[in-house]
Amino acid sequence: MWYFRKNSMTTQDRLEILSTSLLEQYLPLATELKAVAKSVRQEFGWHYLLDLIWIINQLDLNVLETVMDAGAGVGVLQWFLASKGIRVISVDRMDRSDLALHFRSRYSVTGLRPEDLSSVFWAIAQAIRKPVPLIQKAKRLGRDLFSLVNRKAISSTSGTVIFYNQDLKMLIDIPDESVDAIVAVSALEHNEPEDLGLVVAELLRVLKPGGKLVATMSTSGNEDKFHQPSLGWVYSETSLRKYFDLGEDTLSNYDDFPALLEEIRNSSELRDSLAKFYYKSGGRGMPWGVWDPQYVPVGVCKVKPLTNAANV
């Protein structure tokens, strides 16, 4: 079951159902990710810490210059990568042009196009209009404005996060073979199955030869089905191999699915760290905060070939 961990930064394609052992094995990284999340006032989805640790361990951050975060929203991974000096192209079909001030005060953020990110003044206006208690609003706004003016919260070695509000099927402003790696944290499963192959093809178009597409998805074993609370699809091994064009020799631990599902269901660390937002809604991955995992995260690593076999 654990043979993947011996060489996590592989150059091979792979499918790996994630194990809770990642939390202990990479404790310093988990601690750092939690600190980044706290700095931007984010909470993790119930399995996102596993996802993030696995994705980061597939990458050599020392050699990457430009990374695309596909389906990034305002999630933690883009900010973590930027803190390592990486230029991040942050893509999401959600409009993030009114990005909150507390992100801008800590990270260098810009828009790929003028419409992708509004001005700081607009962000300030939005912060003033937020329906939160006046004292709390004043404290947050004052702290963020001080950081923004001082710029001390932004390290001189930090990279830039570039927002691009666009559908992943048509990245018309991103040139062919222009990014070193692509990451996606539990995002691609929110595309319809008939669109997933198109998304993967478009991501591979902009990825440099030899680069990695590293994504986490969801699986419930040997069937594809739509999980209504999380509004996402869970995929079988067969479907993931098809959509990501993974060959028969692709490493996989799907045979360990029953044991890994049980491991996650019994994880007190994940259960006890469940984000507050789950308890407020039945429309998320863990409805009303009841700990009952119906699927598990699976990592997909697709390495773009150095040559196009069709042209050889």
Question: pLDDT per residue over 226-284, tens digit each?
Answer: 999 999 999 999 999 999 999 989 999 999 999 999 999 999 999 999 999 999 988 88
Question: pLDDT per residue over 12-30, tens digit each?
Answer: 899 999 999 999 999 999 9
Question: What percent of the chain is predicted at pLDDT more than 70?
Answer: 84
The pLDDT value recorded for residue 104 is: 85
Secondary-structure percent of the chain, ordered helix, strand, coil, rounded to 5 = 40, 20, 40
Q: Report whether pLDDT(4) > 50.
A: no
Q: Report whether pLDDT(304) > 90.
A: yes
Question: pLDDT per residue over 45-54, tens digit each?
Answer: 999 999 999 9
DSSP state of 304: P
Alpha-helical regions (H) of 5-72:
21-25, 27-39, 48-56
How many Å apart are CA 289 and CA 274, to the nearest integer?
A: 7
Mean pLDDT of 93-109: 89
Task: Identify whether the C-beta of residue 55 lies closer than 8 Å to the C-beta of residue 183.
Answer: yes
167 closest CA partner among 230, 90, 91, 73: 91
Name the average pLDDT for the chain: 88
Alpha-helical regions (H) of 115-192:
120-129, 134-150
What are 271's two structure tokens? 């259960």
Task: Identify whether the C-beta of residue 295 lies closer than 8 Å to the C-beta of residue 16.
Answer: no
The pLDDT value recorded for residue 2 is: 36
More confident: 87 or 6: 87
What are 257's two structure tokens? 């699915």
Complete domains list, the chain, with CATH = 33-85+177-307 (3.40.50), 94-165 (no CATH)
Model confidence band, residue 101 (pLDDT cutoffs 50, 70, 90):
confident
Q: Report whether pLDDT(138) > 80.
A: no
Model confidence band, residue 69 (pLDDT cutoffs 50, 70, 90):
very high
How many Å apart are CA 182 and CA 184, to the nearest integer?
A: 7
Mean pLDDT of 28-51: 95
Question: What percent of the chain is predicted at pLDDT more than 90?
Answer: 72
Q: Report whether pLDDT(6) > 50.
A: no
The pLDDT value recorded for residue 5 is: 46
The pLDDT value recorded for residue 139 is: 61
Length in residues, the chain: 312
Neighbour count for residue 305 (Cβ, 10 Å):
10
Neighbour count for residue 120 (Cβ, 10 Å):
15
39 closest CA partner among 83, 92, 88, 86: 83
How many Å apart are CA 217 and CA 48, to the nearest integer?
A: 11
116 closest CA partner among 165, 69, 60, 169: 165
100 closest CA partner among 77, 118, 81: 118
pTM check: above 0.85: yes
What are 40's two structure tokens? 């931007």
Neighbour count for residue 112 (Cβ, 10 Å):
17
How many Å apart are CA 39 and CA 196, to the nearest integer?
A: 33
Question: pLDDT per residue over 143-192, tens digit each?
Answer: 666 566 665 555 667 899 999 999 999 999 999 999 999 999 999 999 99
How many Å apart are CA 11 and CA 262, to the nearest integer?
A: 30
Mean pLDDT of 50-65: 97
Mean pLDDT of 95-120: 89
190 closest CA partner among 310, 64, 2, 45: 45
Question: pLDDT per residue over 125-136, tens digit each?
Answer: 665 666 767 776
The pLDDT value recorded for residue 137 is: 60
Neighbour count for residue 108 (Cβ, 10 Å):
15
